Every structure is written in C-alpha cells, then in structure tokens.
Chains A and B, each alone.
Chain A
Amino acid sequence: MNVHAGLTGPFPRSEALVRATRDLDRGRTTPEAVEEVFDAAERDVVQLEARLRLDTVSAGYLRWPDLFRPIAETWEGFAVGPLARWFETNTFYRQPILYAPPVRVPGAIAARLPPALARDPARARVVLPGLHTFAGLLDNRAGEAAPALAHRLGRLLGDEVRELRGRGYRTFQFTDPLLAIRPPDGPTAEAVVAGYRAIADALEGGTSIVWTYGGDAGPAFPLLDRLPVSVVGVDLAETEPERIPERKGGPGLGLGIVDPRTTLAEDPTEVARVVREVHARRRPPVVWLGPGGPLDLLPYEPAARKLHALAAACEALGSGGRP
C-alpha cells in the first residue's frame, strides 16, 4: 500500500497564540509581539509534522482567517462580506462577495502562505479553496452563471498553481466540502470537472488533492471519480467505509481517518483495519491519510493528540510502503 499522510486543513492556534491575538484585539500588545508568537507557533507545528514523519508540511495555516480570505482580500473583483456559518460547525467565515469578474493578482497567494512553506516548497501542502465550494458559497453579484463561474475560478486557480509550481511547490489541496455535502449535477458538475482540468493542465507533474468532508461522499463518487486530480479525499466520520465503491479507474484515495468533531482519539489498530478494508476493495494507486476535516475544530492539545493518532495509524499500516 502506497501511503502518504499529512494535515488536510488549518491546525488550531496554541493557547499562547490565543492569548496573544486576544491581547492584540484589546490593545494590550503590539502587532510585532504577536508576529513573534505566530512565528513560534508555526515553528511548533512544522516540528510536530516533522516529528510525526508526515509527508507534507503545512505549518498549520495559523494566520489564515478562513479558507477564502487570502483570495477575497487580494484578487480583484472580490470584497469581504458578512460572517456566515461554516457548514454544520460553530465556526464562521466571511462570505466573499464577487462584484465584478474575478482577476487573479500574481504573487498574492504566495505572499500569504506560511513562511515556513517557502523554505521547503517541495514538501509543502498548499491549501486552496475547492471550486464547487468556492463558487457555491460566495455571494455572486457579478452576474455570471454558476457553472461558468466555477469553470472561470478553475482557470484562475490553474494560473495560481502554475505560478506556485514555478516557485517550487508540488502538492496542492483543494478543500471542497460542498462536493460531499451538496454534490453538483448537470452543467455545474461538468463545469467543476472542466475547472479541475484547467488546474490539472497547470500541475506539470505536481500532485492535486481534492479533499471533501462534512458530508457522506458516497453519493458523490460518480463525480469524484471523474475529477482529473491525483487524489480525492473523503471524511470517514461522515462516509461509511463500505459505501466507498470499487474503483473503475479514477484518482487515488484520500481517507480522513481522524475526526476533528470529537476529542476522543482514534484507535490506530481500528483505523488501520478500516483503511486496509477500503484499500482491498477499491485498490487505489495511492492512499493519502489525514484528518477528516479541519483540526482547528479542536483546541490545540486534543488536535495534537489526533495528529499522533494519525501517525500511529500510519505505523500500524506498516511504514514500508511509505516513500
């Protein structure tokens, strides 16, 4: 079994960083002092990822307010809108407002990536909004029909990937929970496939991962299997393992094997059993393991325990197959 593992979304801020950012909002500290705490916290996450021998490095995306903000704040045509609930969680994002055709601003995303990633881009996991989720959650006031917009965003993110490939980044995750929560059909589904194809065209040997969560991905597999990406990831807390169909071609499989909705740490032996069962049935060319959803639904310490459980599950699967 060819197994890879890594974080699939933001890591929680440490209690020290929570205190520092709260103090900043209350005028009790300086932005410079908070930056130092951010730097230290990022170093901690990178060290944790290294210690657990994860295959990709994320540095936790601690500074990102939400998945969309780096784009909504920098690309032309966007504004940052009101708070909205992030699916069935008690976390919120600011809804991007698209008021004109979107225009990518070169360098803008690269400047927002955690600095630690730029030091080792070949091992970095760049996390970007998935097409269906991005097109589906923004407030579209630009007048473009939803399918055309999804395709256009795919082309723009393709350009982004091309730029980041030039900077040495190789692994790109598109976080697309809406694909499992509200799978598209008809022209929107075709536009999503076309959009991801535009991204694939820019990959030049890199790895693209579409990570879904928050819903049962079982019904979405006919579409997920058509996506021209390296890996599609599903959240095993929401998708019953036996509902993952046998593979008839299609990409590698990502399995969200630790659940950020509970502090209860997973049993690595049980996780390994489930992964083996799914692998035996589907026979994917590669398996990527990670948290089912963003670990920042947990506080820092329980999230760290979950990451240890992920690493232990990888060990239980036998590290011999890992690159």
Chain B
Amino acid sequence: MTDRPLFPAQEIGSLAKPRWQILGQRGEPLDERARAELRDDDARLGFGAELPDARAALLAGRSRELGGEAVRDLGALFALRLLESAGLARVYDGEARRIEMYEYPIRQMRGFRFQGHVRSFDNKYYLKAAAVDEVRLDRPYHVEEFDFVRRHARAEPKLPITGPYTLADWSYNEHYLARQPGWKGRAARRSAQREFVVDLARRAIRPTLAALIEHGCRVLQIDEPAAGTHPDEADLVVEGFNAATEGLDAEFSMHICYSDYRALLPALLEAKRCAQWAWEFANRDTDQHDGYEVLKALHEYGDRRTIGLGVVDVHRDPVESPARVAERILRATRYLGDPARVWVNPDCGLRTRSLPIARAKLAATVEGAALARASFENPRR
C-alpha cells in the first residue's frame, strides 16, 4: 500500500495542441490570437520561464529560426504543467510530440511497407502499412520524449505506448500469412496474426519498453484500442501484452476504449503483468444505462487489479459536474468492493476537446475524486 489518497487522478492520453504550437511547428510566425493564447497559457501555468528563449522566439515571430523541436519542447512542457496544475498524480506531456499512434511506431521498425490510404469514413483516411518481412526494431522510440518528461515532471510520469495487438490489427499481415500453407482461410489468418502480434511484441515493443524502463520509466500504459474490434481475438491481445512485458520490472496498465468489455472477458484476465485496466466508461453512462456495471463482472471473476476509471466523456463538450463524477466513482467502488483499487481519469485522450474544455473536464475529475474521497473520510457528511 502507498500513502496515496483514495481515488488519485491520472492522465490517459493526448491533449489538443495549442494554436501557438501548431503554427510554431510549421515554422509560421504566430498570429495575434496564438500570441495571446501563449501569453495566457504562460500566465496561468508559468512554463515559459523554464524555456524562456523558446517563448521569446515564438512571441517575436521567429518560429522558423527556433525550429520544430524547440517548439515541441515548449508544447510538451505546457501540457505537463497543465496536467500537474489540474492536480493529477500521474502525468505525461499530452503526447505533444505525437500526431497519431500508428504511423510513428511503425516507422521506427523494419519489415513494414506503407501501402497507401484507406478511407475511414466520408473524406477521412488513414495510412496503412503491410508487414512484408519479419518485424525488426530500428531503435527504441519515445525515449527522448520520455527523458524530457522525466527531467521536467513534478508529478509521477506515466508513458502511453501503442500495444502490439493494435499495431498488428491496424496493419496488413502479408509476411506471416504468406508462410501459412494452403488456403488462407480463418484458421490460417488467425495463426498468422498470432505470429505477427507476438513478433511485434517481442522484437519491437519489448525492447522499447526495456529502453524506457532503463531510462527511468516506472509506469507504462499499453494502449490497445483495437482490442474490442475482434472480441474473439482477446487471447491474442493478452499474448501480445505478455510477450511485450515479459521479464520487465515496471507498473503496466492496459488502456482499451469503446469496446464491449464483457466480450473480452475472461480471456483478458490472463494478462499477467497488467496492474491496471484503464477503460472508458463515462461515454456509455447515461440515465438509462449504467456504464459502470461491467465492473461487476471483474469482481465476479475475482480480478483484483486497479481500475483507471473513465469518469468524464471525451466526445462531448458539456462538462460533468464534480458531483456527477463523485457519484460515478462511488458507484464503481461499490461494484469493485474496494476504494483503494480506483484511479480516476478521462475516458480517453482529451485531444478531441478544446483546451479550455479539457481543462474543465480535468478539474471536474479531480474535484469529483475529492468529493468521493470526502465521503469515505467523513462518512456522515
């Protein structure tokens, strides 16, 4: 047991990038609105004094001269201070240096070839690669990014990284499928996918996790948003997780969102070194539907891991009241039977919301946790 108060709050994913960072990264001088936002952000959070040259160059319109990396440093520091100022016990940099969670990791590996764009819906597309050879890691990634966070963080850093199952699911499997004999039906596809996931885990993700741990990272969140896409492959999610974390000494969690969690149980519970399930719940919690009821299933299976409880919806602007958040926390606690197992966070990354809305939702998360905590500390209130 730690001496942490009940219901500590944590980051869960990306934040929207401020306008000044976007323009600065492009090497464009800040317009009046971006300059005003940078001044306001700095006045509120005080991060500019830590990188004064970068702040001054941006405000003076010298973005190109400053360079993208220095702008991203300032953006990362801004996000870090924003999360810390909200009162989060575990923080990261809002993924200020990342623009997505698939292409960058894949580009750090060999054995892949990008094939082109696939339409997601309407005029939205994503780039997709195929595994055309055995997966190999060029070099561990996210390490410099983590180093920056470690040097600057005042709260405990927690690093999010895309998991092996999701990287495999979002890629085409050519190499491993070609090795399967005969007709490439369901059985062959599944067998090939297993090889692909495990290879990704062992050859790319695990060395990256090891390097991050070597650099001092103690808390890592494996993001597996694709886990819910094929519920009958939950065992592959687990196999990838176990292979990626085998023999590593750190605290691991698994983030899954917008999925039918029941369909993934009990297979998911075989993830050996997963200390926490960080799942989205608030999005599905309405007056008509109890979004947290699935936690009963974890209790029934006897699973005693902690929960990263999604208490605010990242797809809607209206900000949940602290009372609503507290009620959700207490309800989840009843289902789990132990308040010490509950961490709180937004459902998923807040990048879909504007920064003011994101700040308000983080504040509601922390204030709601305080209300819930008070009901334990002062049960008669």
**Would you list which residues of chain B between 33 and 65 have a CB under 8 Å from chain A?**
none
Contact of A262 among B117, B121, B172, B187 (CB under 8 A): B172
**Interface magnitude class on chain B:** 20 to 34
Q: Given A66-B121, A90-B170, A90-B229, does the pair A266, B184 have CB atoms closer than 8 Å?
A: yes
Q: Interface size of A by Cβ–Cβ distance < 8 Å?
A: 41
**Would you list which residues of chain B between 101 and 146 have a CB under 8 Å from chain A?**
115-123, 125-126, 128, 130
Instruction: Tell me how far the C-beta of B313 lies from the nearest C-beta in chain A, rounded to whole angstroms.
Output: 14
Residues in A with CB closer than 8 Å to B174 are 262-264
Q: Given A237-B189, A264-B184, A302-B115, does the pair A92, B121 have CB atoms closer than 8 Å?
A: yes
Instruction: Tell me how far the C-beta of A301 lies from the nearest C-beta in chain B, rounded to whole angstroms.
Output: 6
Assembled-state Cα–Cα distance A238/B178 (Å): 17
B118 touches A263 (CB 8 A): no
Query: Does A13 touch B at the CB level, under 8 Å?
Result: yes
**Of A14-22, A101-109, A170-178, the one touching chain B:** A14-22
Instruction: Tell me how far the C-beta of B98 lies from the nearest C-beta in chain A, rounded to whole angstroms.
Output: 19
**Would you list which residues of chain B between 136 and 189 have a CB under 8 Å from chain A?**
169-170, 172-174, 177-178, 182-187, 189
Residues in B with CB closer than 8 Å to A259 are 184
Residues in B with CB closer than 8 Å to A237 are 184-186, 189
B118 touches A298 (CB 8 A): yes
Assembled-state Cα–Cα distance A238/B184 (Å): 9
Residues in A with CB closer than 8 Å to B177 are 262, 264
B116 touches A302 (CB 8 A): yes
Instruction: Tell me how far the C-beta of B310 lies from the nearest C-beta in chain A, rounded to whole angstroms.
Output: 19
B121 touches A93 (CB 8 A): yes
Residues in B with CB closer than 8 Å to A65 are 121-122
**Would you list which residues of chain A between 237 and 253 have a CB under 8 Å from chain B?**
237-241
Q: Which residue of B lies closest to A265 (CB)?
A: B174
Instruction: Tell me how far the C-beta of B286 lies from the nearest C-beta in chain A, rounded to whole angstroms.
Output: 14
A18 touches B172 (CB 8 A): no
Instruction: Tell me how far the C-beta of B208 lies from the nearest C-beta in chain A, rounded to whole angstroms.
Output: 23
**Would you list which residues of chain A between 264 and 293 have a CB under 8 Å from chain B?**
264, 266, 270, 274
Query: Does A261 touch B at the CB level, under 8 Å?
Result: yes
Assembled-state Cα–Cα distance A240/B115 (Å): 28
Q: Given A241-B183, A241-B185, A274-B183, does the pair A296, B119 have CB atoms closer than 8 Å?
A: yes
Contact of A90 among B126, B178, B182, B183 (CB under 8 A): B126
Query: Does B230 touch A at the CB level, under 8 Å?
Result: yes
Assembled-state Cα–Cα distance A265/B229 (Å): 24
A83 touches B116 (CB 8 A): no
Instruction: Tell me how far the C-beta of A222 lies from the nearest C-beta in chain B, rounded to whole angstroms.
Output: 20
B interface secondary structure, majority: mixed
**Would you list which residues of chain A between 9 and 41 have a CB under 8 Å from chain B?**
12-13, 15, 18, 21-22, 24-25
Assembled-state Cα–Cα distance A261/B119 (Å): 14
**Would you list which residues of chain B between 72 and 90 have a CB under 8 Å from chain A?**
none
Assembled-state Cα–Cα distance A302/B171 (Å): 13
Residues in A with CB closer than 8 Å to B230 are 88
Residues in B with CB closer than 8 Å to A238 are 185-186
A88 touches B117 (CB 8 A): no
Query: Does A184 touch B at the CB level, under 8 Å?
Result: no
Query: Does A75 touch B at the CB level, under 8 Å?
Result: no
Contact of B115 among A91, A93, A298 (CB under 8 A): A298
Assembled-state Cα–Cα distance A94/B130 (Å): 28
Q: Which residue of A lies closest to B130 (CB)?
A: A263
A15 touches B117 (CB 8 A): yes
Q: Which residue of A lies closest to B187 (CB)?
A: A240
Residues in B with CB closer than 8 Å to A92 are 120-121
Contact of A88 among B115, B170, B185, B229 (CB under 8 A): B229
Residues in A with CB closer than 8 Å to B123 are 21-22, 24-25
A299 touches B121 (CB 8 A): no
Contact of B116 among A90, A262, A301 (CB under 8 A): A301
B172 touches A13 (CB 8 A): no
B115 touches A301 (CB 8 A): yes
8 further contact pairs, Cβ within 8 A, besides A15-B117, A65-B121: A12-B116, A13-B117, A22-B123, A240-B185, A240-B186, A240-B187, A262-B172, A299-B118
7 nearest A-B pairs in the assembled complex, by CB-CB distance: A299-B116, A92-B121, A21-B123, A263-B172, A263-B130, A264-B174, A18-B117
Some 28 contacts from A to B, beta carbons below 8 A apart, are A12-B116, A12-B119, A13-B117, A18-B119, A22-B125, A24-B123, A65-B122, A85-B229, A88-B229, A90-B126, A90-B169, A94-B121, A216-B186, A237-B184, A237-B189, A238-B186, A259-B184, A261-B172, A262-B130, A262-B172, A262-B173, A262-B177, A263-B172, A264-B173, A266-B184, A270-B182, A274-B183, A296-B118
